[in-house]
Every structure is written in C-alpha cells, then in structure tokens.
Structure 1
Amino acid sequence: MLEEFELMHTIRILSTRDFMDDAPTILSGGMVYEFERLDIDGLDSLKSQSVWVYIDWIMPEISGLELCHRLRAIRSADQTRITLMLERDRLEDRRRAIDAGADNYLIEPLTLDVITAQIAAISGQAMTDEGDRLAIGHLSLDEQTSIAFWKDEPLFLSPTLLRLMKYFIENANRLLTREEILASINVAGQELDARSVDVAISRIRKELRKVGAGAILRTVRSRGYVLDLRIG
C-alpha cells in the first residue's frame, strides 16, 4: 500500500480559505491532493514549484485581483496555476480575473470536491499524448514537461497559454479566428470570451519578445491571428 501511495502523483493545493487549515489529504483517481493555507506574506516560497492556488475575490487585507497580480509578478513562479473565486457569475468579473493573471475562475461555493474535480479535469486534458514533443521551425512544446521553447530558450507560460501555444503550433501559418482559439483554450466549466483571447495573445507575445522570437504571432485585422513562422 505504501509503494502504491509513493507512485501516485501528488498535487499541492493552496488557498486563502480558512478551511484549508484542517483539510484532509485526499486520494482519488491515481492522485494525492494535499491542501494548505496560502501565506499571503510568503509568496516567494512558491518559486519553482508546481502548485494550484485558489484565491478569494475579497479578503480583509488584499483583493483577490491584487493577489493575482503579485503572484504573476514572481517570474519563477510560472508553474503556479491560479483560480480566482467569483462571488457572482458576471462577464465583467470573469474578464477582470483573466486580465489579473488567473488561469481559471470558479463560481462560489468552493469545496474540496469542487477543487479536486476541476484539477482532475484539467490535468487529464493536459496529460493527453504525454511524452510527445511538438515542433515546427524554432518553436517547440514538450508535452511531458509542459514547457514551450524558442530555440533553446524556455517560455514562461501558464497552463491556459500552453494550451493556446499548442494549438498555434499544430496550426502554424494558418489564420485562426477568435472563435477557433476560444474553443482550443476553454476547459469544461471555464467559458472564456473574445476579450480573454486578446489578453492571452498579448501575454504570449510578451514572452516571445523576451526570447528574441520577434513578431511571429500576427494579428489579421477583423479576422483573427496567425503564427507566422515564415518570418521567424
């Protein structure tokens, strides 16, 4: 039994919720879910760690949006997956969550079952064809490690941006409409909108510029976007 436990994939989950202090470890679907309270004053401890973070919309000391911004400012915490809890299902709140750097959002109430169900759904999708490496030109995506590269330089992309990058690589040099792009990055229960596409594209472009990739992700006015590797 101990050997089986050691072979299971461990998911570390942090949240601003009080009930995380007493949350039990959960074993489900071949994964071990470990919960703990997020220390707002100790965000640097998340560096270089793959964790899932669930943030309240409103907190006494800081807003959820501001906390998202702070987490995304920690460059080496790129593997942190952020879900922002919305008190109401409003389009404007969803947009603000994504703009602040959240990968996903959930509508209240938040429970351990909701958390494990969401992570299982997203992780299951992310591990499809695990071990494959997509590549075209100087751009590649290692699906086993979930890291994208330009030449030998890694791109610091969130899970949502990695899904989008994979879709662009699979459809390189082809015009993609916003509707097609939305369908590629949406996960069950996480319906994003056209504004979210523009924000995601902006973030990918920023990372591409950092590694010297140039303007390979082009806007085709009123039509969509194209990953144009003929100019990369």
Structure 2
Amino acid sequence: MASTYDPADINILVVDDEEDVAEIVSHFLKQEGFTVHKAHDGEEALSKANPDIDLIVLDIMLPGLDGYEVCRRLRSRVETETIPIIFLSAKTEEEDQVRGLMAGGDAYLTKPVSPQVIVAHVKAVLRRAGIEESRTLQVQNLTIYEDEYRASLEGKDLGLTLTEFELLRYLVRHPRKAFTRQQLLETIWKDAMMVTERTVDAHIKNLREKLGDFARHIQTVRGVGYRFVEEDSAQE
C-alpha cells in the first residue's frame, strides 16, 4: 500500500555542476513544497546523500566522479541503495540513456527540459516508490480534506458548498499570490454561464462567515482581488 507524504517532508538532492541549472530546478521543486538540497560535484553528492534524502536529481557530466559512478556507489551502499535517482543530462544518445538506467537510475531526462516536466517525473518516481502525495492540506487549525471535498476548523466541519471548498482550496494552495476576480472565475467556475465578478465577492463573503476569526487569512487586495496568507498579519 502506498504511503502519503507532505511535500515539505520530502528531501530532494539536486546535483549539477552548473549552478544556474541547479538553482532553477531547485526553485521549481521548492514551489511544489519539497525540501531541496544542492550539490555541485560527485564527491559532494555522495557526502550529502544520506538516508534522509528521498530522491536525487543527478547530472552525469560532473567534475571528478561522473553521475554514472555516483549512482553506482549509491546503489552499493545499504543506506542509499533504494533512493530513487533521476538522471538529468545533456547526453542525449540512446547508449547514454541505457547506461544511466543500467547504472541504477529510475528515469533519464535529457537537457533542455522544462522544470515542470522534471517536477512531474519527480512525483511519478515517488509514486512508483510507493509514496503518494498527501491529499490533506493543513494551515494552523484549518484542515482541508481534498479527497473528501470538505474542510474543518479546530476539528469542526465547516459545511462548505462545493464552490466554497474549491475556492478555499485554490487560495490555500497558492499562499500570498493575489488573484483577480476574473482569474478566480476562470479557475473555479470555468465555463459557468451567467456568472459575474460579483459572484466571487458573494462566495468570499460566505466563506469568511463560515471561517470566523480564521477569515483574516483571506485578504482583499485593493484594485486586484483576493489572496490567502498563512501568517497572522494585518490587512494590507
């Protein structure tokens, strides 16, 4: 049976001698909530690869030990032999890909590749390893049960409508990002007819009433729309 995880509890080691590449990949993984560590050569990768690392994104052309050798050594250690490894390399020949997989890689991506594709492969490899992303969001005393389409505050069910639930979940999943009413309409209501921007205001009002004091986390951004903030801060 697959186990579930909070992305923040997943430690990913990104190994690439090109610092800008490592930074870009790390940035997108962090946006998904993962905890990211970086290394820029083979020896550093081996030193940072420990049982707390859940997955490694590994370049091949590294100074000193190359990615193939790093992978082989990791697979030879009892404490790291099962860590999933995704090769990310500019080496595009079929024989290079075969060599990477034969060395013990779980996937092989060739540069250039979009960060979104890397993130998708990270999640897919974690699933194959029997780890599923948690379908529960937790912010202080608010819990959102994504599979059940419900939310509770201090253990008490909020009794949200489907639209209120979708609206709350979307805002919580994108903390501090301000959304216009039109953006929320297009995302939550999609192709619904006869829906105006005032509909968003009405649902936000109802949602705030059900959230009580917790409603302070849903802020109105003047001239724009709404955003969700996790910390207890004054209305801006």
Q: Same fold (TM over 0.5)?
A: no
Based on CA coordinates, which of the two structures has the bigger radius of gyration? 2
Q: TM-score under structure 2 normalisation?
A: 0.42
